[in-house]
A = this chain, B = another copy of it.
Amino acid sequence: MDAATTLKKHDLKVTKIRLAILDALGKTELAKPYAELQAMLAEFDRTTLYRTLLALMEKGVIHKALEENGESYYALCSDCSIETHVHDHMHFKCTTCGVVQCLDLPKRLKFSAPGIHIDSIEVFAKGQCSNCN
């Protein structure tokens, strides 16, 4: 599915920066840091980038994979919508080369604690990616 179709499916107008963001995030499971996105999209105002990222997240097109030391990483969603954000994957950062990627989880995680009700769980792992070990 091309970028314009993706946007329409999520009730988003097709605009230049939205196409550019989807293009920048590619079709991979790799997450990009905000600073890199901004550099790739320097032709647009950073406020527009900010609001566009918000809109794409709200509509379930992209998600914030992780936040580390004030740096946010963004990645495409696989199958989210404005109603349901489901992420059955973990986020992995290679401490050697710095790449951040979404990895499938073998099964849905379940945790429990007395008196507590858990709605969502995020898993963030660090280590060495296949290129770096």
Are the C-beta atoms of A92 and B113 separated by less than 8 Å? yes
CB contacts under 8 Å to B, within A90-111, are 90, 92, 95, 103-106, 109, 111
Given the known A-B contacts A67-B68, A70-B70, A111-B90, are A126 and B119 also in contact in the complex, defined by CB atoms under 8 Å? yes
Q: Mark A109-126, 1 if CB is under 8 A from B, else 0.
A: 101011111111111111
Question: In which size bucket is the chain A interface?
Answer: 20 to 34
Q: What residues of chain B lie closer than 8 Å to A121, measured between beta carbons?
A: 123-126
* Closest Cβ–Cβ distance, residue A51 to chain B (whole Å): 15
CA A133 – CA B70 in complex, angstroms? Answer: 31
- Given known pairs A67-B68, A121-B124, the reply for A130 and B114 (CB within 8 Å) is yes
Instruction: From B67, B92, B105, B122, give the contact of A116 (CB < 8 A).
Output: B92
Chain B residues with CB under 8 Å of A119's CB are: 95, 125-128
- Of the residues B111, B113, B126, B129, contact of A120 by C-beta under 8 Å: B126
- Residue ID in chain B nearest A121 by CB atoms: B125
A interface residue numbers (CB < 8 A to B): 67-70, 90, 92, 95, 103-106, 109, 111, 113-130, 133
Please list the 3 inter-chain residue pairs (A to B) with the smallest Cβ-Cβ separation, ordered nearest first.
A115-B130, A118-B127, A119-B127
